[in-house]
Structure 1
Amino acid sequence: MQSESKLAGDLQESSGLLSQPKAVWAVAFACVISFMGLGLVDPILPAIAEQLHASKSQVSLLFTSYNLVTGIAMLITGVVSSRLGVKWTLLSGMVLTIIFAGLGGASHTIGQIVGFRAGWGLGNALFIATALSAIVGFSKSGTAKAIILYEAALGLGISVGPLLGGELGSISWRGPFYGVSALMIIGFIFILFVLPKTPKPKKTSSIADPFRALGYPALLTLAIVAFLYNFGFFTLMAYSPYVMKLDEHGLGYVFFGWGIMLAITSVLVAPKLQKRFSLVSSISWMLTLFAVDLAVMAVGTINHSPTTVIIAVIVAGIFLGINNTLITTAVMQAAPVERATASASYSFVRFLGGALSPWLAGKLSEWSTAQSPFWFGAFMVMLGVIVLIIRRRHLDHINRNAGH
């Protein structure tokens, strides 16, 4: 289609990225706040484990319940948004996040926090699946530029989140939960008054649509690759705080640096790589370098060198920022389905990886050695590279659109 053929060209150009309607900026602002919630809890993971007398694998269930519910709920986001419309779906997701983040802060046991994080995941699913399609839909400067803006909001939110989480967490581990709730109230007001009322889609979605979309080999390939590399991603997010030997402030600064690298590369570097190299080559190299980086974290853990792990975590933001933009852009043109449906299908599969990997990382450290989660994460990321290379023919149409 014509819009698809323009996609790679849009990605290659940087001009016009900031020329967006107010509706796009409204959603992007809310995205920053939403994604702050992901990294806000990172600096307090060791504190929660210590103060609530929980193991690493138990604390990691904060990510598992959140990602599991987010992934499953992705299957209904299209059904909900096609009936409520974009604006009210976004607002519904934000209300759920406000409520469950606040309840998480009021919890007294690890089980309660895990349960409330699951409710938070439902709100997250309704918001992020709709937010991506909303930014793309409202944008007047092309799909790929809108995706770059979305990824920049993701990176900014993920980077600022740990910084704020470290400050609030140094007061109490409950602080970041209440912080997310308060910030999301601000985002809710912003969306409520700035985002224009949008018409409901003429065609309502079915819960079967995301499953049908996975029947397209290109979309299925990208989803499997994301499922596998999420084992590395959430090993970094959920397990690395335990081996860096830092307090809440220190962890906040490390993940702030990681997020800044992610945000900068997703906006400035990814378009240049897309212009110069093929999609498969670019993603394969970024994931391979990320796997090597995880291996460095393992070696740093073996040598009892927190500094090595800290540097490797920050550097990982470079590879993940580039990869996130490339793979999200590819998903939007992988199959002839609605963007929201493609996003829901892809996110359903990848978040299942994000649900299993944090718990498994904690368990591996208990069953084996402190470095074993990093080795396993590196192995799974490389398995994703192998899958991508073996199935690269299914992505030929995306490379053709890119002029490769």
Structure 2
Amino acid sequence: MWQQPRAVWAVAFASVIAFMGIGLVDPILKPIAESMDASPSQVSLLFTSYMAVMGVAMLVTGFVSSRIGAKRTLMLGLVIIIVSAALAGASSSIDAIVAFRAGWGLGNALFIATALSTIVMSARGSMAQAVILFEAALGLGIAAGPLLGGQLGSISWRGPFFGVAVLMTIALAATAWLLPDTPPTGARTSLADPLRALRHRGLLTVALTALFYNVGFFILLAVTPFPLGMGAMAIGWIFFGWGLMLAVASVWVAPALQRRFGNLPVVVGALGLFALDLLVMALFTAHPPVLVVCVVVAGAFLGINNTVITETVMESAPVPRPVASAAYSFVRFGGGAVAPWAGGKLYEHVSPGSPFWVGAAAVALGAAILWTGRSHLQHEEPSDLDEAEAIVAGDAG
């Protein structure tokens, strides 16, 4: 599995950097707020704009890549990320940073929606081995993002943005040099196909589950740094532990549980435990050690859910898997877009613990929707490439 062409390693390296973007800004939320004299809800828009644009852009990634090819789509996404990250680091207002973070979301959508299928097509060995390689890159990126953000953020809040721009420039050069040309193949995807797919009750059930689950997920990410009250480096190490737990659970724990219990019980169980974790955070918001433990432990529940719900998506609608992925991502990222801003408002105007109460309730509601809609879920065997493309839906957020 590890003896791969250089093209595979180039895309895998770029994938690590792309997935850093999810947690990169976590450690610098408070420094940005202090520097810009911004409120928690204003700073949380860095997540909202990123996730909102990424969700909408997922509807067009198939449309773009089916017309210009995988390599050009990857490179276009990387260029947009480089420009957006650099401009965000050079900005002098919170509104400008939020706007350029939205551009980052567009670039990330174009890149990550194409990266896995590119690795599968270029890698040696089985499709399963290629997916594990991609999962390893994903886990490393999610774990390293907060750590890089904390280290560079301890120097300046601008550091993480410029750091990503530099790393992505290296990834762009490697992709351009090492990845062979990939002309468009297969049928062209319509912009309306993902929206039509949501007519299928099974897919809609899983997508709504993910929407409410992402409310809790992004409240955890966007709100927790404020009651913790720690510096950028300390926050970075805490969320590095969270990302490490997420990576381990995604790659090793989730498949084992899936084989033993099946998809539905594992997803419902993981969501229930995550809701309880958020409930503890709501009760002990004034106790930073409890929050630290809950954040790290939450990584395991999120990792299990991210991996197992992917297969549930693939089984939930009789449509091509990339189309199902785009439809699912479009709905689920709505929770990731709304939650940070709403959580910040609750933190400011209600109480520090109120966002976590809402997050726990939303995750529990997501579990209930999945369980009550289980009769609409059906099993269909996807092709290898369709399965690879669909995995992006479970991992992108």
Q: TM-score, normalised by structure 1?
A: 0.90
- 1:250 correspondence with 2:234: yes
CA positional deviation for 1:138 = 4.3
**What is the aligned length?**
383
Q: Residue 268 of structure 1 is aligned with which of 239, 252, 272? A: 252
The answer to whether the Cα contact below 8 Å between 1:148 and 1:325 also exists between their aligned partners in 2 is no
Which residue does the alignment assign to 2:273? 289
CA positional deviation for 1:333 = 4.2
The answer to whether the Cα contact below 8 Å between 2:315 and 2:379 also exists between their aligned partners in 1 is no
Distance 1:143 1:227 in 2: 29
Distance 1:240 1:399, change over 3 A: farther
Q: Residue 62 of structure 2 is aligned with which of 58, 73, 78? A: 78
Which residue does the alignment assign to 1:3? none
CA positional deviation for 1:400 = 13
Instruction: Name the amino acid aligned to 2:305.
Output: N
Q: Residue 44 of structure 1 is aligned with which of 8, 11, 28? A: 28
Q: Residue 339 of structure 2 is aligned with which of 350, 354, 357? A: 357
Superposed, 1:94-243 pairs within 5 Å as: 94-138=78-122, 145-243=129-227
Instruction: Name the amino acid aligned to 1:293.
Output: D
The answer to whether the Cα contact below 8 Å between 2:315 and 2:378 also exists between their aligned partners in 1 is no
Instruction: Name the amino acid aligned to 1:198.
Output: T
**Identity among equivalent pairs (%):** 58
Distance 1:139 1:347, change over 3 A: farther
Instruction: Name the amino acid aligned to 2:153.
Output: G
Q: Residue 300 of structure 2 is aligned with which of 318, 343, 347? A: 318
RMSD over aligned CA atoms reads: 2.0
Deviates more, 1:27-36 or 1:326-335: 326-335
Q: Residue 383 of structure 1 is aligned with which of 350, 365, 372? A: 365
Instruction: Name the amino acid aligned to 1:91.
Output: M
Q: Residue 15 of structure 2 is aligned with which of 31, 36, 61? A: 31
The answer to whether the Cα contact below 8 Å between 1:69 and 1:122 also exists between their aligned partners in 2 is yes
The answer to whether the Cα contact below 8 Å between 1:239 and 1:361 also exists between their aligned partners in 2 is yes
Deviates more, 1:66-75 or 1:150-159: 150-159
- Give deviations 1:354-388, integer Å, cap 9, x for gaps: 10000000011122110000010010001010011
CA positional deviation for 1:346 = 1.2
Q: Residue 325 of structure 2 is aligned with which of 343, 356, 369? A: 343
Distance 2:317 2:119 in 1: 19
Distance 1:162 1:282, change over 3 A: same
Q: TM-score, normalised by structure 2?
A: 0.91
The answer to whether the Cα contact below 8 Å between 2:26 and 2:221 also exists between their aligned partners in 1 is yes
Distance 1:400 1:185 in 2: 35
Instruction: Name the amino acid aligned to 1:315.
Output: V
CA positional deviation for 1:51 = 1.0
CA positional deviation for 1:23 = 4.2
Deviates more, 1:140-149 or 1:198-207: 140-149
Distance 2:364 2:380 in 1: 22
Unaligned runs of 5+ in 2: 384-397
Q: Helix, strand or coil: the match of 2:323?
A: helix
Which residue does the alignment assign to 1:10? none
Distance 1:124 1:82, change over 3 A: same
- Give deviations 1:35-92, integer Å, cap 9, x for gaps: 1122111100001111100000000111111111111111111111111111110110
